[in-house]
Amino acid sequence: MQKKNKKLWIISLSFCSIAFGVYLILYALSDNIVFFYTPSEIDKIDTTKEVRIGGFVSMGAAVYSKDEVKFVITDKLVNITVQYKGVLPALFRENQGVVVRGFLDKNTMTFEAKELLIKHDEKYKPPK
């Protein structure tokens, strides 16, 4: 009986040690893990905090002006209008995956973007 008790303690202690190690790793990385909301999750967004929203740029919805671009991102269920001031990334185009960082204005339902992150596949080739 003592042999079974000893094995049980060793297995339990090993499991607890591994679980604690995983917890420490995840806690250390918590500031570096990046998540984004989809347009369907708009009701969960806190308007006082800077957040990321990800989706696809809708076809025919981008409006370019001198120093600003307005476009619509979608997850095929809900659309959100995004306003961005700055230089567009070279890979920005319609029907392309994009993650935008900024603040949501719930009054006008527009997203004021500070940064655009363009998603591409593993076959990336820079424009010529």
What pLDDT digit, counting tens, does each position of 41-64 carry?
888 887 888 889 999 998 888 888
Asked which of 30-39, 51-60, 92-101 is least confident by mean pLDDT, the reply is 30-39
Alpha carbons 76 and 57: distance in angstroms, whole number: 10
- Domain assignment present for residue 22? The answer is yes
In this prediction, residue 15 has a pLDDT band, given cuts at 50, 70 and 90, of very high
Residue 114 and residue 82 in contact, taking contact as beta carbons nearer than 8 Å: no
Q: Are residues 86 and 72 part of one domain?
A: yes
pLDDT for res 41:
87
98, 119 contact by CB (below 8 A):
yes
Is 124 among the domain residues?
A: no
Number of domains in the chain: 2
Based on the number of CB atoms within 10 Å of its own CB, is 70 exposed (0-12), middle (13-18) or buried (19 or more)?
middle
27: domain range?
1-33
Nearest to 69 by CA among 48, 44, 94: 94
